[in-house]
Amino acid sequence: MRVDVPVSGSHAKAAKLPFEPEAAELEPLYEKHRKIYPKYVKGFYRSLKTWIGGGLLVFYFVGPWLRWSRDNGSPSQMFLLDMAHERAYIMGVEIWPQEIYYLAGALILGAFGLFFATTLFGRVWCGITCPQTVFTDLFVAVERLFEGDRNQRMRRDRGPWSLDKALRKGSTLITWVAISLIIGWTWEIYFNEAFTTTKALLEGRIGEGSPVSWGVMGFALGVGAIFFVLAGFAREQFCIYMCPWPRFQAAMYDEDSLVVTYETWRGEPRAAAHKDTDFTNRGHCIDCKQCVQVCPTGIDIRDGSQLACIGCALCVDACDSIMTLMNLPPGLITYDSFSRQEARAKGETGRYRFFRGRTFAYAGLMALVVGIMAYGLLGRSNTGITVQHERAPMFVSLAAGHIRNGYDFKILRMAEEPTTYVLSIKGLPNASLRAVFYAETDQPVVELPVKADSVGSYRVYVTAAKAVLKGKATDFTFVLTDKSTGLVTEQQAMFAGPDSTTNP
């Protein structure tokens, strides 16, 4: 249908179309952000969060400074991901780039561990041990120190600016900035030697030729800025809008998973009350909203299970304190499973099933991954071989019907002592070896010295009679024997030659 809209003049106000809604009918797509002022509460779960979060913070900040004795000039830092030298040091274990599968195993183990914990206790990771939660708790504690608890902060934010308000806000921001810088620098010294780089930083030696390059500084400042924004300002918005985990955690739940829940059967109908109220024919909830005031994401747990609930259980502490004041039994808000809550609503006792299909499956997968990694670590060799066949030419024909192949031969010495290896071959009868710079003539075996914790690179030539070859490619094996320990490492390779089946 054609709609003719009369317009007079180039600057005339646009006419409203018949199907265009009134301006008053339009609603914003997104609700305006409301700042959350979580109230401090005492109780079991608050203490649990404080002790676990405090322990994680101590471990994070102290970890790079812990020492571990290593020989031959290796770093003495207990935890160090030395990207410059392509090493990872975790206490007594040294991981090389070729052993990246240990990192993959650790990530898989962490994933299954998270699934296992969620199946048992809901979002316990989010509420207690997630870095966002731990650092946000730290930043909120600083804010509470300078600006007071919930009501004081709300009243001060609504009031006009004053010297007292400016000083308190400024002290909070300055402390946040200091903590963020320490967080960023601590992250950086997990990848660089802590004492060396920190000393250079304190002495002002930054730039080319210094352990603290501008890249290092930029990375540390970037990490600090991220935590400053997320823990200081984003807070619950990160958990609700940015974190992907709440979107698929429901797949980990079942009817026996313990989650923070409101016992509707006991709390409703709710209404205001005092100590002398008779609760015989009414619910135990007195609608005090303490559970909402202590929630770090500002939700009302009485509305049911919600994506924004991080499972911190602070609402449990708040509600239990009110129940105690009202001489009512605790647990109106509690960690409970859906099946047990349903049973108690019917007057039955209900029970929690720890052992069930999901828990067995996740526990079994975790045990399998741990077993594979332990077997690999306990049985790992301190020697690795990398062999690359020379491509141009693939082989060289010599006098007396012999063929020679060249190889780039690398030996990974993953130990703190130097050694000498004896290299030989099997699978090529009467073949001989020559290692450039270490053997001037062809020999049955050659010796290859390798320094501690390093890679020895050699050009190795293998010579064999044309008569022993089997077509264009003949498989054989390099045999590397450690003279100091007798440990034998083998690596299969290919010997190229002319096609003996068509050109005898």
- CB–CB of 258/120 below 8 Å? yes
258 and 245 part of one domain: no
Strands 402-413 and 454-465: antiparallel
- Together in a domain, 277 and 395: no
Its sign, for the CA torsion 30, 35, 37, 38, is: positive
Write out the two tokens for 323: 């129940």
93: in domain: yes
Q: Domain for residue 199, yes or no? A: yes
Residues 258 and 217 in one domain: no
Distances (CA, A) of 90 to 61, 101, 104, 284, 383: 16, 15, 15, 53, 19
Element at 21 (helix H, strand E)? none
Residue 233 lies in a domain: yes
Could you tell me if 327 and 428 lie in one domain?
no
> Does residue 313 form part of some domain?
yes
pLDDT at position 142 is 96
CATH code for the domain in which residue 388 is found:
2.60.40.10
- Which of 202, 226, 249 finishes a domain? 249
Domain count, the chain: 3
Q: How many CB atoms lie within 10 A of CB 273?
A: 18
Residue 439: what pLDDT?
56
Same domain for 192 and 69: yes
User: Whole-prediction pTM value?
Assistant: 0.80
In angstroms, the CA 355 to CA 378 distance is 31
Last residue of a domain, one of 186, 221, 249: 249
Q: Are residues 261 and 323 in the same domain?
A: yes
Domain boundary among 195, 230, 249: 249
Residue identified by tokens 């001060």 is: 156
Output the CA–CA distances (angstroms, integers) from residue 416 to 11, 94, 166, 168, in the order listed.
Answer: 83, 10, 58, 54
Same domain, 201 and 334: no
What is the model's pLDDT at position 25?
61
358 falls within a domain: no
Same domain flag for 171 and 231: yes
Q: What is the pLDDT of residue 72?
A: 65
Q: Is the peptide bond before 393 cis (omega within 30 degrees of 0)?
A: yes
Same domain, yes or no: 225 and 261: no
- For residue 350, tell me if it sits in a domain: no
The per-residue pLDDT for 186 is: 95
Same domain, residue pair 98 and 187 = yes
Domain encompassing residue 486? 383-496
Specify the pLDDT at position 13. Answer: 46
Q: Is there a contact between 470 and 504 (Cβ–Cβ < 8 Å)?
A: no
Do 291 and 440 belong together in one domain?
Answer: no
- 105-127 b/e (C-beta count within 10 Å ≥ 16 → b): beebbeebbbbbbbbbbbbbbbb
On whether residue 28 sits in a domain, the answer given is no
Domain membership flag for residue 23: no
Please answer whether residues 411 and 383 qualify as being in contact, where contact means their C-beta atoms are separated by less than 8 angstroms.
yes
Residue 60's contacts (CB-CB under 8 Å, 6 or more residues apart) are 186
| pLDDT tens by residue, the chain, 504 residues | 444 544 444 444 444 555 555 555 666 777 777 889 999 999 999 999 999 999 999 999 999 999 988 776 678 899 999 887 778 888 888 888 777 888 889 999 999 999 999 998 888 899 999 999 999 999 999 999 999 999 999 999 999 999 999 999 999 999 999 999 999 999 999 999 999 999 999 988 888 778 888 888 999 999 999 999 999 999 999 998 888 888 888 788 888 888 999 999 899 999 988 878 888 888 999 999 999 999 999 999 999 888 899 999 999 999 999 999 999 999 999 988 888 888 888 888 777 888 888 889 999 999 999 999 888 888 777 888 889 998 888 898 887 788 999 999 999 888 778 889 999 998 888 888 988 765 566 788 888 898 888 888 999 999 988 888 887 888 899 999 998 888 898 899 999 888 755 444
Return the DSSP state at 494: E
Check: CB of residue 147 under 8 Å from CB of residue 156. yes
* Whether 197 and 69 share a structural domain: yes
